Chain A
Amino acid sequence: MTCLINFSDRRGLSGILLFSLLMFFKAGIAEGNGFTEELKRHALIIAVYPVENLTGRVAPLKEFGQLIKDELRKRGVDILDEDRLSSFMASHRVRYVAGIDTQTAVALGKETGVQAVLIISLELYNDIPPPKIAIRGRLVSVGRWPEILWMDSVSLTGDDSPGLFELSIVNDPLILMKKAVMRFVELLSKGLLEVSSNTGSEGIDRVKDENGAFSAQMMKKRRVIVMPFFNKSGRNYAGEIMRNHFIEQLTKKGWFSVVEPGVLREILLQFRIIMADGPSLADIRAIASVIDVDFVFSGTVFDYNDYSGPIGIPKVGFIVNVVDVSKEKMIYSSMGYRRGNYNVFLFDWGTIRTAHRLAAIMAEEVVDEFQESR
């Protein structure tokens, strides 16, 4: 085939480039519209819980929450009205926003008609240039057996891609916040579509039968509970963040069905279980008497350090233990310790700039290894 384009002609070349760019954007917009239409067609109604602050410092939580809701509405996701959610939370005295227990899930479904609740946590917010942000969200079904349907996270820093002469460094936390929210909402939209297609057009309740029991497909998966990790690092909430990393990885892999942390909290409160040094076998027996569970993850975080400003290296160190409930034995134990530059050989290429991302990689490796050992 003969090439008809004369590349020596500058006008011709720029014309082709412009045309390609236009086509690219058009395709993107068309895809975006199709995406929105698809989301609207599934008509899932979700409640967005107030953002949980795990940053250990003051952060613009309301702005974050509002930005996420606005972006979701733009994409056609049906969100429960804030006033209705506030009145529901007030009437049921719901103050815990890091999870949802069974009673609240049943009441929320019945009274507001939502099918799932979005639980968001802001895990890193540092506005010192270059800023650093990490958001995590999970979608939990409402009803008698709250189940994690989707979970993902985004962590960004202003100097993730500095570009030529560092011209692409973002120093404004607001810009980075919007970027992070856009990426998060994109992941969530895809997750919502996936959830809808898995459960059918009738919605998420198809997952369970009339009595509220899990379908055979769901029961095939081995059930896991992840205890909050003990925090022996200098970072506030490092234990909760590490637990969330493991829940996310276990959920993403799809090999296990992870018990919603709100449900686990409800059981721990019910049995007045206070763990001083990890769960004992008696604690595990008590939990297993209420919910069907195969494995219990627990652990300790020793290091979870982020840095402020442009120079520094994040550091993460933890130990994770897994107990097989049926055998009443510890079947897996792993210790991980890494710095953000563990994979760097030349010119800082491959540097990981947040402890959040580093911990996510480490948790994924542990989950993969655990699955392989099964």
Chain B
Amino acid sequence: MKWTPFSNSIRRTTFCAKERKMLYGNTVLPMKSFISTIKAIEKVVLFLLVIVFLPLPLHAAYDVYVDETMDFGSIRTVAIMPFINLTREQYAAERVRDLLMTQLLASKAVYVIPSGEVKRGIQRAGIADPTSPSPEEVVKFAGIVKVDAVITGVVREYGEVRSGQSAANVISLSLFMIEAQTGRIVWSASTSKGGIDLSDRLLGGGGRPMDDVTEEAINDLLDKLFR
């Protein structure tokens, strides 16, 4: 007979029940009640674990969008548009954009055109708001600067957060990759890094430098892109 892991576990449970019956019969022993209490506790713990850990994979699944029909291997050159800055830090968007440019180039997966060339393309394409271009504008722009995809982004949070006596740097950003030929979003991801953790609360300190946190966030996004 062929045993699958599932049927194996049923067999094992049956064997345990038989064994119990042989040992204790139909009488209720103090040991039996103890075992049933343990079983009940096990069930509660399992239930709690499910409640705590179930949302994690669900959450992870929803912060990345990938167009399944897109061939990402065909993307060789990209342009990074200026990002939307929703923070109070004046140059947060520029900092993140420049770091993303360096990290993308360092990955050697794609070539990123210089930011001066992006600016020239924006001017020539007549894009009024380069932080959120329309599909038509993307197509026109990509034709001018000769890129395969355009990356836009939003920096939602950048800088120090405080909670009680603790302070730490935090970043939250989203990126969107738009295909040059159609102007469609083919990939999108968001991430949040940094913030106050248990060690910051217990031991104090100002957390990690902003650039380290930014680098970590960008690496996380690139991992999601090249996954």
A positions within 8 Å CB-CB of B: 232, 275-283, 298, 300, 302, 317, 319, 321, 323, 329-330, 333-335, 337, 339
Contacts and interface: CB of A to CB of B under 8 A. Distances in A.
B120 A282 contact: yes
B106 A333 contact: yes
B94 A232 contact: yes
Given A232-B91, A330-B113, A337 B211 contact: yes
B40 interface: no
A321 B117 CA distance: 13
A51 to B, nearest CB: 30
Given A330-B113, A335-B99, A337-B211, 14 more contacts: A232-B94, A277-B119, A278-B114, A278-B115, A279-B116, A280-B117, A280-B119, A298-B116, A302-B94, A319-B99, A321-B101, A323-B114, A333-B101, A333-B102
A277 B94 CA distance: 10
A226 to B, nearest CB: 15
Contacts of B112: 330, 333
A277 B118 contact: yes
B77 to A, nearest CB: 10
A302 B116 CA distance: 17
A329 B114 CA distance: 8
A283 B119 CA distance: 12
B115 A277 contact: yes
Contact of B105 (A276, A333, A337): A333
Given A319-B99, A330-B105, A337 B119 contact: no
Interface string B93-124: 01100110110011000011111111110000
B91 A302 contact: yes
B102 A278 contact: no
Contacts of A317: 211
Given A302-B91, A330-B111, A281 B102 contact: no
A1 B61 CA distance: 83
A52 to B, nearest CB: 26
Interface of B: 90-91, 94-95, 98-99, 101-102, 105-106, 111-120, 209, 211
A278 B209 contact: no
Nearest to A336: B211
Contacts of B209: 337, 339
A319 B98 contact: yes
24 contacts: A275-B116, A276-B119, A277-B116, A277-B118, A277-B119, A278-B116, A280-B119, A282-B120, A283-B116, A298-B114, A300-B94, A302-B91, A302-B95, A319-B99, A319-B101, A319-B102, A321-B101, A323-B114, A329-B111, A330-B114, A333-B101, A333-B112, A335-B98, A335-B211
Nearest to A233: B91
Contacts of A275: 116
Nearest to A339: B209
Contacts of A321: 101, 114-115
Nearest to B113: A330
Contacts of A330: 105, 111-114
A31 B13 CA distance: 96
Contacts of B113: 330
Given A330-B111, A337-B211, A300 B116 contact: no
Pick the most buried of B101, B119, B120, B209: most chain A CB atoms within 10 A of its CB: B120
B120 A300 contact: no
**Which A-B residue pairs are the 4 nearest by beta carbons?**
A278-B116, A277-B119, A280-B120, A337-B211
A280 B116 contact: yes
Contacts of B111: 329-330
Contacts of B114: 278-281, 298, 321, 323, 330
Contacts of A280: 114, 116-117, 119-120
A281 to B, nearest CB: 5
A127 B87 CA distance: 36
B128 to A, nearest CB: 15
A334 B102 contact: yes
Contacts of A339: 209
Contacts of B101: 319, 321, 333
Contacts of B118: 277
B65 to A, nearest CB: 27
A330 B112 CA distance: 8
Contacts of A337: 209, 211
A333 B118 CA distance: 16
A232 B101 CA distance: 17
A319 B218 CA distance: 16
B118 to A, nearest CB: 7
A283 B211 CA distance: 30
A29 B81 CA distance: 62
Nearest to A323: B114
A228 B101 CA distance: 20
Contact of B98 (A281, A300, A323): A300
Contacts of A319: 98-99, 101-102
Nearest to B116: A278
Contacts of A232: 90-91, 94-95
Contacts of B99: 319, 335
